[in-house]
Homo-oligomer: A and B are copies of this chain.
Amino acid sequence: MRQSQLFTKTRREAPKDEVAKNAQLLIRAGFINKEMAGVYSFLPLGLLVLNNICNVIREEMGAIGASELKMSALQSRELWEKTDRWSDKSVDNWFKTELKGGGEVGLGFTHEEPLTFLMREFVHSYRDLPVLAYQIQEKFRNEIRAKSGIIRGREFLMKDLYSFSRTDEEHHMLYEQAKSAYLKIFERVELGEKTFVTFASGGVFSKYSEEFQTLSDAGEDIIYVDEAKRIAVNKEVYTDEVLKDLGLQKSDLVEKKAIESGNIFNLGTRFSDPLDLTFTDEGGTKKPVIMGSYGLGPSRLMGTLAEVLSDEKGLVWPKAVAPFTIHLVELSGGDEGVRKAADALYEKLTARQIAVLYDDRTASAGEKFADAELIGIPYRVVVSAKTIAASAVELTERKSGERRSVSEEELLAL
C-alpha cells in the first residue's frame, strides 16, 4: 500500500498516561490507539499484524485438527451459576450488565461454560469424540489496574482451544498436540528461544498447569529457568518439594521476569460434571467427558513482540507477522525519474504478491528513515538517484541493521 493512503501517522509522543513500553511504541508508530486504560483500538497497521498472528495460530490449530467456531461475548447467568463461577466472590473480574427486559448477563472472560454446554447437543456416543474446538474472540476482564498496554487489557483478543476426550490417555495425547502446536507458534513469531514451558499451579485435576512464559522485564511473573533443560518453574510453585518432583536443581535455576504468553490446563471433569456433558462408551456405560483448555492471546502476543523484539529505534517485526515484508522508500526529492523507478518497482513487487508499504510521501530522507525504523518492517528498500546510477537498490534489514546494495533481480527473489 502507498503510505500516502495510510490515514495514520507516526507520533513523536505517546499519551502521557501510557506507561507500558509496548503501547508507547505501538501508539507512536500508529498501530494502536488508546481508548481508555486497558482498552485499545487496532489501526490499519496494527490490525494487519494482529490478523497475521491469528493466521499463524489458525494454521497450527488446523494442523492438529481443531475446528474454529465463534462464541458470543454475552453470557447467561444461569449457565455460570451451574459451575459456581457467576458470583463476584468466585470470579473477581466479571463485567456484568442488565438486559432491558430484566435479568443480568455477563461479558465472557473465558468460555468453558458455554462450549461445554453447547457440546451436549453434539456429543452423545464414543463415536462423537474426541473434539478439538477453538475460537479467536474478544474477552472482557474487569482488571482493577491495567498498566501493561495490550499485554493485559480489559478487552482483548484470545485464542481459546478446548479439548474433549473419552479417556485420560486420549486427553494426554491431545494435550501434547496442543502443547507442540504452541511451541511451533512461538517459533514462527521468533519468540521460541525466549519462551519456556513453565510449571505453575494446577487445580483439582492435575498437579501442575503449564504456562508458556516469555522472558521480558515487562513481565508480571517471576519464573526460575533451567536454560539447559528449557524448562521453568513459576514462583507460585517454587518449593523444594516441587523442584524435587520435577527433577530440577536449585543451582541450575535463574530467576527471571516473564510474560505469560500462553497456558494449558487439564480440566478433567470440572466442567463436564456440573454441566452434565457425558458420552456412552463402547460398552454402553455413560461417562463424563475429559476436558482441557489452552489459551493464547493474539493481542498479548503482539504486545509481547513489541516489548521483546524492539530496539531503541522502534518496533522490529518478525517476518511471519510483519504488517508488510518490504518498506519501499523513494528518495526522489521531486526527481521524476527516481519517482517513476520507485513506482515501477512497487508495481513489480506487489505483482509478485510481496506485501509492500511504499513511502511515496513528500518528506525528508531523515523523516522517512526514522518512520521506517519506528514502524519496524523487516526490509527497507531505498530507491534514489544514487541507487539508480548503481543499477541497484539499497536493502537494509531492520533487525540487524545490515545494509547492502542488491540488484532488482536479487530483491525480487528475496
Q: Which residues of A contact B (CB under 8 A)?
A: 5-9, 11, 30, 33, 35-36, 39-44, 46-47, 50, 65, 67-76, 92-93, 95-101, 105, 107, 114, 118-119, 121-123, 128, 131, 133, 138, 140, 142-145, 154-155
Contact = CB atoms under 8 A, between A and B. Distances in A.
Contacts of A99: 142, 154
Given A7-B133, A9-B122, A70 B42 contact: yes
6 contacts: A7-B67, A36-B76, A41-B72, A42-B69, A47-B70, A100-B144
B69 A43 contact: yes
A114 B155 CA distance: 15
Nearest to A143: B100
B100 A93 contact: yes
A9 to B, nearest CB: 6
B100 A35 contact: no
Given A35-B76, A36-B76, A99-B142, A122 B67 contact: no
Contacts of A11: 121
* Oligomeric state, in copies: 2
A21 B110 CA distance: 30
A69 B44 contact: yes
A92 B100 CA distance: 9
B35 A155 contact: no
Given A41-B118, A47-B68, A69-B42, A74 B7 contact: no
B7 A40 contact: no
B41 A100 contact: no
A154 B138 CA distance: 16
Closest 6 CB pairs of A and B: A41-B71, A42-B70, A97-B97, A7-B131, A95-B97, A44-B67
Nearest to A111: B41
Contacts of A118: 33, 41
Nearest to A75: B35
A5 B97 contact: no
A41 B67 contact: no
Contacts of A50: 70
A11 to B, nearest CB: 7
A35 B142 contact: no
A126 to B, nearest CB: 14
A35 to B, nearest CB: 5
Contacts of A98: 95
A96 B97 contact: yes
A409 to B, nearest CB: 30
A114 B71 contact: no
A73 B105 contact: no
Given A99-B142, A142-B99, A144-B100, A74 B36 contact: yes
B74 A35 contact: yes
A30 B142 CA distance: 33
B105 A138 contact: no
Given A7-B119, A35-B74, A97-B107, 9 more contacts: A7-B131, A35-B71, A46-B69, A47-B69, A72-B155, A74-B155, A95-B98, A101-B145, A138-B138
Nearest to A153: B72
A155 B138 CA distance: 12
Which of A107, A131, A145: most chain B CB closer than 10 A? A107
A182 to B, nearest CB: 21
B121 A154 contact: no
Nearest to A114: B35
A107 B108 CA distance: 13
Nearest to A50: B70
Q: Which of A40, A99, A123 has the most CB of B within 10 A?
A: A99
A324 to B, nearest CB: 14
